[in-house]
Structure 1
Amino acid sequence: MTLFVHLTSEKNVRSVRRAGIRASGRSHGGLSGVFCLPILPSYQLTHQWVRELRRGGRRTIVAVDFRIPDDEPVHVGHYGREHARLPSAEAAALIAGRDDARGWEVLVPRTITAGEVHRIRGVNQVTGWRYMPNAHGVPPCPDCLQRGEYGSARIRRRAESSGF
């Protein structure tokens, strides 16, 4: 059984305990399911999506650890790119074997039942990257920022004055 972690808002904890993790979301390939990552030796890599998820307006993020069979097919890949369909154990090994696993994700194409949930725990709220891996020092795309987002007006003004 492969152990994965799904990051969700703290307000969803009661629902996850009662009914599991509902399959939702859409990746760039049009797939829906439960986004997760395998539990890796590096805390930073395992919880790399926390800051990016908080950027979307979620206040407190919690980790939901769950187990699925090693041979269950999942989709794995770098966000924004094509995902490969592999057994869950191979997907976990693929991510663990990467030199730089930032930006990788696993998509389980079904709902995770409450019986498969191993535990729910708090996580460090400032772990991970924002915008994209290696974004430090690179200005964000002005068109990608939402109106009212912290610092977005300043970034747009700077981009307009430089002819970006």
Structure 2
Amino acid sequence: MAMFVHLTASANAARIRRSGVRAVSHGRDADRSRGLYCFPVLPSYTLTHQWLRELSRRSGSRGLVAVHLRLPDDEPVTVGRYHQEPRHVTAAEAVRRIGALDDPRGWEVFVPRSAAKGEVHSVRPVRQVIGWRYFPDAHGTVPCTCAGCRVRGEYGSRRLRERRPHPLDGPPPATAVLLRQIAAAGTPGDPEQLTRTLDWFGLRRRGPVDQLAHLADHPDREVRRALVWAVARWTTPGTADLLQRLAGDGDEAVREAAAWNLSERS
């Protein structure tokens, strides 16, 4: 049996002891299956729990706990470094590969299913100051303050933005202004101008779905892909229908982006 550690919010501890670990995360492979992320238990306590500080940025005020899981050696999993294409292997092979690395920081194992109560070996408290933040060796690197990298309400984030303001900081232009920019781009529209404008729409929670839907037929795939990410978080009625339409796009990248965002909404 292979031993892994899964880090999760302390608030989930009681439920995990009662019924196991839910499959709520999405894998990085093509089918985007639901499951859970974990890491092999190595001789080094620090390496075993290396993801803790990065995950703690979004875990809530009570911190994280370490859930130790025992999985069959032949359990199908994927293994790889974050933001890289993972490899399909068995649990035992994932442990072997990561254990043989000179620097296993940033590596992860994905189990494409939930973990049953009987597979939970223990739920333990863990020191909350272990591991790296943002990415391995980030210390000494100038932090990025864009909307995608920063975490709202994170300790020190306001002072960081004041010290290193980002060009996209501040409220986005009004919807009427952005729609005039869309119209000024022409027909079918300049891709670069449309993409810039759609980036601003992506900072909003709601927007004019009906007035942007025609861009789903734009001949440039980057515009269609930008449209996916512009409306991805919107709660406006009709957003899911637009994403469903884009999920049938002729370009693979557009289809994958739309399908992933649809799955996040379910």
Using the size of structure 2 for normalisation, the TM-score is: 0.58
Runs of 4+ in 1 over 4 A off after TM superposition: none
CA contact (8 A) 2:28 2:86 kept: no
The unaligned stretches of length 5 or more in structure 2 are 167-266
CA-to-aligned-CA distance 1:13-43 (integer Å, 9 cap, x gap): 1110111000111244434211101100010
Query: Given the alignment, which residue of 49, 52, 55 partners 1:50?
Result: 52
Query: Given the alignment, which residue of 145, 152, 158 partners 2:157?
Result: 152
Query: Given the alignment, which residue of 84, 87, 102 partners 2:87?
Result: 84
Higher alpha-carbon deviation: 57-66 or 128-137 = 57-66
Give, in angstroms, the shift of residue 121 of structure 1.
0.9
Give, in angstroms, the shift of residue 120 of structure 1.
1.2
Query: Given the alignment, which residue of 110, 113, 116 partners 1:110?
Result: 113
Counterpart in the other structure of 2:14? 14
CA-to-aligned-CA distance 1:60-108 (integer Å, 9 cap, x gap): 2111111111011101111111111001000011111111100110001
Give, in angstroms, the shift of residue 158 of structure 1.
3.5
Counterpart in the other structure of 1:123? 126
Q: Which has the higher helix share?
A: 2
Counterpart in the other structure of 2:204? none
Q: Which has the higher strand share?
A: 1
User: What amino acid is the match of 2:8?
Assistant: T
| Partner Cα distance (2:150, 2:33) in 1 | 24
| Partner Cα distance (1:98, 1:39) in 2 | 14
| Partner Cα distance (1:41, 1:33) in 2 | 25
Query: Given the alignment, which residue of 70, 73, 78 partners 1:67?
Result: 70
User: What amino acid is the match of 1:120?
Assistant: V
Figure out how many residues of one structure are paired with residues of the other and give that number. 162
Higher alpha-carbon deviation: 141-150 or 126-135 = 141-150
| Partner Cα distance (2:69, 2:6) in 1 | 8
Relative contact order, higher structure (CA 8 A, sep 6+): 1
SS in 1 for 2:25: coil
